[in-house]
């Protein structure tokens, strides 16, 4: 487990052919314990039988919640490691095993946090404290704490575009002077106007050729979400993500019917079955599963394919290290309805350095991930960097 801006959790699968598969799981409390318990039922199995082993892990953890929940974070990392191992065994990149690629490079969208709360990335439940590299990015936190302003959004948009990103995303549910009550489901008229002004500033700074999406993190009631979605209509935004809680398919459907702004959701849903109601009801225009938690790479490819049948776009959520990001890029390459893949590591000084690639040193080239012909996922972990930022108290791939 490496302390990035989230606890990046890596899984290795060892085989009797000497092949080692590498995957990544989305963080969760108690995650490494679940992974170790699932490992016990995989030992001695044929690592090539990925769907069967997925079902075996699913059945084995059914008492802990078989249709959703953090056991799937664990299963997703193991499943990705199995695909990496299978690709290495067959001498083929994972995107070929998923049906072949529609594109040679995968477009990223840059998650842009304009404004910074202090301390950054401190989450007492999920991360247990301050990241050790916080001082590297903000040696003078009092001075560097930014407020959320239209000017800050424009500056961040211009910086991301200068790095080559063609799609950006900003949060609109940020601290602001018009918020009457913390945690409220209600967005006041003044707060909605402020959100629209943040959005306008980012969209204008990004320019006519760059797409911009916005996120509301499931916080709001229907009327508030609709108020913001309609204010965004003149900006022609790429999407409005999670305006209401993710399980509210009927509310999402009503929103989608009431606004031209494309509505998206998916990072808190699990498995194909989690996405079925959204698609059958035609509730969203874009689905955004997180491939390090939704159930794995094949499950992600199945969701993409099913969404495509409903003419719904596929824009995976992603907060992982380069390992999980590149694993997700294989699924994106094979998805016809692909929109963009999230990149959430702009603030992490060593994000790129965790990756060892066969053909280059930079994971991201001009806002895209170029795919290679390397077998499996095609990226290895830089162990020296991983050890430097390893989470205290967690075993390094089982080392005592």
State the residues that interact with Mg ion by CB under 5 A: 215, 241
**Residue 267 beta carbon to Mg ion: minimum distance, rounded to whole angstroms:** 5
Nearer to Mg ion, 32 or 265 (CB): 265
Report the residue number, 241 or 299, with the smaller CB distance to Mg ion: 241
Closest approach of Mg ion to the CB of residue 373, in Å: 32
Q: d(Cα 33, Cα 116) in Å, to the nearest integer?
A: 33
CB of 239 to Mg ion, least distance (A): 10
We find the least distance from the C-beta atom of residue 137 to Mg ion, in angstroms, to be 22
Output 242 or 299, the one with its CB closest to Mg ion.
Answer: 242
Distance in Å, CB of 165 to Mg ion, minimum? 17
Least separation in angstroms between residue 317's CB and Mg ion is 6
Between 86 and 286, whose beta carbon lies closer to Mg ion?
286
Give the nearer residue to Mg ion in terms of CB position, either 95 or 239. Answer: 239
Nearest residue (CB) to Mg ion, 211 versus 241: 241
Closer residue to Mg ion, CB minimum distance, 141 or 246: 246
Q: How far is the CB of 6 from Mg ion (least distance, A)?
A: 13
């Amino acid at each position: 487990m490496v302390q990035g801006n989230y606890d990046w959790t890596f899984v290795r699968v060892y085989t009797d052919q000497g092949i080692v598969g590498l995957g990544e799981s989305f963080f969760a409390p108690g995650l490494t314990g679940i992974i170790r318990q699932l490992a016990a039922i995989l030992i001695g199995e044929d690592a090539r039988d990925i769907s069967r082993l997925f079902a075996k892990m699913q059945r084995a953890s059914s008492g802990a919640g078989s249709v959703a929940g953090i056991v799937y974070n664990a299963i997703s990392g193991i499943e990705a490691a199995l695909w990496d191992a299978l690709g290495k065994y067959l001498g083929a990149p994972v995107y070929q095993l998923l049906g072949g690629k529609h594109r040679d490079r995968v477009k990223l969208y840059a998650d842009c946090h304009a404004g910074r709360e202090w301390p950054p990335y401190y989450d007492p439940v999920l991360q247990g404290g301050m990241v050790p590299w916080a001082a590297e990015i903000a040696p003078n936190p009092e001075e560097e704490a930014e407020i959320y302003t239209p000017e800050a959004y424009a500056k961040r948009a211009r910086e991301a575009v200068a790095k080559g990103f063609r799609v950006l995303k900003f949060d609109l549910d940020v601290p602001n002077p018009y918020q009457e009550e913390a945690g409220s489901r209600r967005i006041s008229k003044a707060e909605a106007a402020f959100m629209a002004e943040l959005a306008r500033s980012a969209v204008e700074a990004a320019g006519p050729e760059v797409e911009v999406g916005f996120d509301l993190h499931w916080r709001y009631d229907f009327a508030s979400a609709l108020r913001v979605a309609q204010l965004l209509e003149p900006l022609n935004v790429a999407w409005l993500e999670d305006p209401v809680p993710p399980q509210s398919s009927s509310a999402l459907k009503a929103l989608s019917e009431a606004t031209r702004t494309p509505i998206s959701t998916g990072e808190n849903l699990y498995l194909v079955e989690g996405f079925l109601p959204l698609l059958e009801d035609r509730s969203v225009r874009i689905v955004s599963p997180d491939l390090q938690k939704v159930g794995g790479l094949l499950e992600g490819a199945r969701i993409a394919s099913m969404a495509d049948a409903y003419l719904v776009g596929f824009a995976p959520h992603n907060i992982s290290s380069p390992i999980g990001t590149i694993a997700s890029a294989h699924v994106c390459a094979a998805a016809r309805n692909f929109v963009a893949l999230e990149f959430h590591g702009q603030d992490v000084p060593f994000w790129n350095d965790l990756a060892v690639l066969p053909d280059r040193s930079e994971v991201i080239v001009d806002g895209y991930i170029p795919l290679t012909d390397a077998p499996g996922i095609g990226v290895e972990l830089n162990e020296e960097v991983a050890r430097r930022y390893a989470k205290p108290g967690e075993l390094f791939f089982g080392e005592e």
